């Protein structure tokens, strides 16, 4: 059976030991004497406190992880104490930090993927008010889950969260699993999320590695180049594990993330406010503006999407759910206005699309242009071109829904759909 470090993506074998903390047994990592290496950060021997008992694990693997060169065992402990003290004094008051409930931590970690904290906060509070436990989430219909997620984006996260909740309720007695292998088997759970939840909720000694942590570690070790390159990411993962404060892995992981989010920022790091800047090789060498190297961005693609708001005399509209224009990317397989990607003649191309999917007579259709809107999805720069069409009656077709425009928020719909609806108020 692979050791937890290998399951998280380490390629260098790490010898496992059992470390006893106050009667609780955890799997941890024991570092050997210093050893030179041409490509990875040289790390020295890690020394555990004398009151911890260690014994070889039956599925052990030899350890070659090492400490960064600017540290001795004593200075590493000082470094860890300084960062932990800073975090405990200055951490932001965030709702998922109010308890060690693994469900609350897990929901937060999923929502925070590729999404800023400020955007997540209102969604997180509403979500937990509606689904306070994993069992309540597991029992909910997917449409309700997606409705609460509407506007947050990356909707596969919500679908996987719902699927995983069902598995936890049925196979894990309603508790987020405590082992790395079981956590990684859940839908939507990767190495980062597993390490974050297990360390923060259960004190499992697993280091996290995300963009913020990678930037901090790269500057501490003056690591140049593309941090997302596979070999360099593995190097950073091994480095993250070697830094880990085993007495407080959850606080340690959050401290590194907090440092990267608030102090060691991408463009203008506030080194003067950093509690551990004395150990930073990038600062000592004047490289903080050069590390990390800028990521190569994919060339932007410009797309125009025409959408129709059909409205009957009662103020109702029709939404469709069949895959349409960039459904997976833009409308996320949720309820949307009829829409299609257009080239030169948006009105004519949209009229043809409406005839094809809803059998609306083009001759009697009048499309009134509404104010356009901008929308961005990764490298796509999308221009939304809404049109209003007043119709005597709405068509009846499979996989459509008729509702008052004022009730759009009651259905799961993407932010692009809400932008199209908002164009009516701006005309």
Distances (CA, A) of 231 to 238, 244, 295: 11, 20, 16
Q: How far apart are CA 331 and CA 361, in angstroms?
A: 25
Q: In sequence order, what are the residues at sequence separation of 6 or more whose Cβ sits closer than 8 angstroms to the Cβ of residue 64? A: 12, 13, 14, 32, 35
Candidates 232, 245, 255, 295; CA nearest to 9 is 232
How much helix, strand and coil, in percent to the nearest 5, is found in the chain? Answer: 40, 15, 45
Buried b (16+ CB within 10 A) or exposed e, 228-253: eeeebebbbbbbbbbbbbbbbbbbbb
The residue whose two tokens read 């930073």 is 280
| C-alpha to C-alpha distance for 218 and 260, rounded to whole angstroms | 11
Sign, Cα dihedral of 402, 403, 408, 411: negative
Residues identified as active-site: 109
Crossing angle, helix 249-262 and helix 211-221, to 10 degrees? Answer: 80
Other residues' Cβ atoms within 10 Å of the Cβ of residue 422: 15
What three-state secondary structure class fits 211?
helix
Question: Among candidates 35, 75, 26, which has minimal Cα distance to 54?
Answer: 26
Q: Sort strands 380-390 and 301-311 into parallel, antiparallel or unpaired.
A: parallel
What residues have CB less than 8 Å from 307, skipping those under 6 apart? Answer: 336, 337, 338, 339, 350, 384, 385, 386, 387, 420
Neighbours of 285 (CB within 10 A): 11
Alpha-carbon gap, residue 263 to 21, rounded angstroms: 32
């Amino acid at each position: 059976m692979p050791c937890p470090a290998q399951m998280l993506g380490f390629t260098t074998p790490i010898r496992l030991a059992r470390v006893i903390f106050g009667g609780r047994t955890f799997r941890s990592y024991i570092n050997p004497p210093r050893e030179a290496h041409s490509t990875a950060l040289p790390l020295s021997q890690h020394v555990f406190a004398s009151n911890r008992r260690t014994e070889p694990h039956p599925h052990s693997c030899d350890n070659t992880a090492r400490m960064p060169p600017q540290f001795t065992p004593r200075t590493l402990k000082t470094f860890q104490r300084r960062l932990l003290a800073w975090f405990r004094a200055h951490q932001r008051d965030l709702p998922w930090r109010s308890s060690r409930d693994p469900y609350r931590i897990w929901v937060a970690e999923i929502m925070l993927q590729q999404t800023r904290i400020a955007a997540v906060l209102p969604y997180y509070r509403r979500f937990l008010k509606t689904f306070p436990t994993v069992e309540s989430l597991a029992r909910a219909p997917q449409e309700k889950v997606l409705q609460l997620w509407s506007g947050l984006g990356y909707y596969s996260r919500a679908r996987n969260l719902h699927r995983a909740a069902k598995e936890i309720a049925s196979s894990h007695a309603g508790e987020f699993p405590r082992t790395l292998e079981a956590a990684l088997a859940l839908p939507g759970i990767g190495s980062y999320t597993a390490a974050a939840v297990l360390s923060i909720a259960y004190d499992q000694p697993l280091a996290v590695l995300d963009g913020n942590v990678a930037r901090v570690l790269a500057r501490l070790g003056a690591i140049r180049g593309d941090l997302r390159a596979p070999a360099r990411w593995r190097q950073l993962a091994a480095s993250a594990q070697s830094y880990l404060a085993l007495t407080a892995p959850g606080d340690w992981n959050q401290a590194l993330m907090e440092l990267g989010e608030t102090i060691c920022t991408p463009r203008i790091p506030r080194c003067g406010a950093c509690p551990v800047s004395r150990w930073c090789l990038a600062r000592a060498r004047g490289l903080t503006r050069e590390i990390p190297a800028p990521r190569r961005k994919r060339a932007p693609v410009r797309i125009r999407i025409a959408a129709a708001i059909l409205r009957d005399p009662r103020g109702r509209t029709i939404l469709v759910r069949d895959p349409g224009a960039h459904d997976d990317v833009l409308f996320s397989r949720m309820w949307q206005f009829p829409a299609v990607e257009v080239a030169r003649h948006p009105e004519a191309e949209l009229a043809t699309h409406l005839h094809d999917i809803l059998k609306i007579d083009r001759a009697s259709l009048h499309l009134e242009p509404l104010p356009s809107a901008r929308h961005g999805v990764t490298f796509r720069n999308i221009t939304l071109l809404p049109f209003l069409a007043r119709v005597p009656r709405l068509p009846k077709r499979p996989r459509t829904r008729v509702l008052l425009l004022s009730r759009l928020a009651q259905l799961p719909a993407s932010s692009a759909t809400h932008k199209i609806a908002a164009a009516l108020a701006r005309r």
